């Protein structure tokens, strides 16, 4: 048998059983004693039997009322716990932030934001997954991450909402051996004549460089392909060959003359690092807080 009973009636009933007194229940619930009495009568009518035994000293539950109270008290406790957890998440007192990004983007772009976010919301659990651009997008589509930060542009953007965050420039660099070349530069068509070190072709940065070369009638054949930009920089510094780096992320090595920028004609067009989330999907408060932090910084720089 199913009965239609409001949650408020159950709350009043539990307060009366817990306090053993209609007046005490009314004070606990901040309502009048007549309202409490009416709620109990309505509940008993809908349940089809008495739930309380009334005495001069107060009330106590019938056998049926005691059984009902036992389960209702547990259920109301769970509802209260659910409400508490919900408002903790809304107020950024708990939750999880799941980000996908490459090691280069994490180290050179995201770290300051993650540090600031953690100071603002120390109880939010931060999970960062180190993946390439397209692996990060796959994780975003299947729900494994909430937002990702990738090297733009991307070809498949129909499912995504994209916000460019920072403009970057890819430049060719070499070690001390190529210092003179940095002063005179070279034509892109002559680049295949030099030992070239590039990222693996699974990376979006590598695809961007290959596409730029092909559009200018040049095919790049690196002598070494690696999955780490840091390793490419290390190898270039010991004169194993030339490599492309993001200029904004390699300022120390360029300033300290561990690497030399080599002008290439035509130069690679500038591009951006972008923040990507799924279209038409509401972000959890923990994620929205991080997005607002990025947007605020972007507006300040703009």
Phi and psi at 159, nearest 5°, equal -95, 0
3-state helix, strand, coil in the chain (%, to 5): 50, 20, 30
- How many Cα atoms are found within 13 Å in the side-chain-facing hemisphere of 14? 16
Q: What is the pLDDT of residue 227?
A: 87
Q: What is the pLDDT of residue 98?
A: 95
Q: What is the pLDDT of residue 158?
A: 75
The CATH code for residues 96-167+272-301 is 3.40.190.10
Token pair 């072709």 is found at 201
Token pair 């716990």 is found at 81
Tell me how many degrees the CA angle 243-151-218 measures, rounded to the nearest 5.
Answer: 45
Calpha distance 260→242 (Å, rounded): 10
Q: What is the pLDDT of residue 299?
A: 62
Of the candidates 117, 137, 119, the residue with the CA atom closest to the CA atom of residue 129 = 137
Q: What is the pLDDT of residue 281?
A: 84
Q: What is the pLDDT of residue 67?
A: 94
Please state, as a whole number, how many other Cβ atoms lie within 10 Å of the Cβ of residue 27.
13
CA–CA distance from 51 to each of 34, 54, 56, 62, 87 (Å)?
A: 17, 10, 17, 5, 34
CATH 3.40.190.290 fits 170-269, yes or no: yes
Give the dihedral sign, CA 198/202/205/206.
Answer: positive
Q: What is the pLDDT of residue 297?
A: 73
Contact 150, 137 (CB under 8 A): yes
In what helix (H) or strand (E) does residue 275 lie, and over which residues does it extend? strand 271-278
List every span in the chain annotated with CATH 3.40.190.290: 170-269
Low-confidence ranges of the chain (pLDDT < 70): 1-3, 156-157, 298-302
Per residue in 45-91, pLDDT (tens digit) is 999 899 999 888 889 999 999 999 999 999 998 988 888 888 887 87
State in Å, rounded, how far the first CA of the chain is from the last one. Answer: 64
List every span in the chain annotated with CATH 3.40.190.10: 96-167+272-301
Q: Which fold has domain 7-90?
A: Arc Repressor Mutant, subunit A (1.10.10)
Give the dihedral sign, CA 234/237/238/240.
Answer: positive
3 state SS of 170: strand
- How many Cα atoms are found within 13 Å in the side-chain-facing hemisphere of 102? 21
pTM of model > 0.95: no
Both tokens assigned to 250: 């390699």
């Amino acid at each position: 048998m199913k009965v239609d009973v409001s949650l408020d009636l159950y709350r009043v009933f539990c307060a009366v059983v817990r306090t053993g007194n209609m007046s005490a229940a009314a004070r606990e619930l901040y309502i009048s004693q007549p309202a409490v009495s009416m709620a109990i009568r309505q509940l008993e009518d809908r349940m089809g039997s008495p739930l309380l035994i009334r005495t001069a000293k107060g009330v106590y539950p019938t056998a049926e009322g005691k059984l009902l109270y036992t389960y209702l008290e547990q259920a109301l406790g769970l509802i209260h716990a659910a409400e508490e957890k919900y408002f903790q998440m809304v107020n950024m007192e708990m939750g999880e932030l799941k980000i996908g990004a490459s090691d280069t983007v994490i180290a050179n772009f995201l770290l300051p934001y993650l540090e600031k976010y953690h100071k603002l919301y120390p109880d939010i659990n931060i999970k960062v997954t180190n993946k390439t651009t397209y692996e990060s997008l796959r994780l975003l589509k299947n729900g494994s991450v909430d937002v990702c930060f990738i090297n733009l542009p991307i070809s498949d953007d129909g499912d995504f909402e994209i916000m460019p965050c920072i403009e970057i420039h890819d430049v060719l660099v070499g070690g001390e051996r190529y210092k003179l070349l940095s002063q005179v530069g070279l034509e892109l068509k002559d680049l295949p004549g030099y030992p070239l070190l590039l990222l693996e072709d699974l990376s979006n940065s590598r695809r961007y460089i290959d596409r730029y070369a092909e559009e200018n009638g040049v095919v790049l054949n690196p002598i070494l392909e690696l999955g780490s930009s840091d390793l490419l920089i290390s190898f270039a510094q010991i004169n194993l060959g030339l490599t492309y780096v993001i200029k904004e992320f390699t300022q120390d090595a360029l300033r300290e003359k561990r690497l030399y920028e080599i002008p290439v004609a035509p130069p690679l067009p500038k591009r951006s690092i972008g923040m990507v989330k799924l279209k038409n999907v509401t972000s959890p408060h923990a994620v929205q807080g991080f997005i607002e932090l990025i947007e605020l910084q972007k507006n300040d720089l703009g």
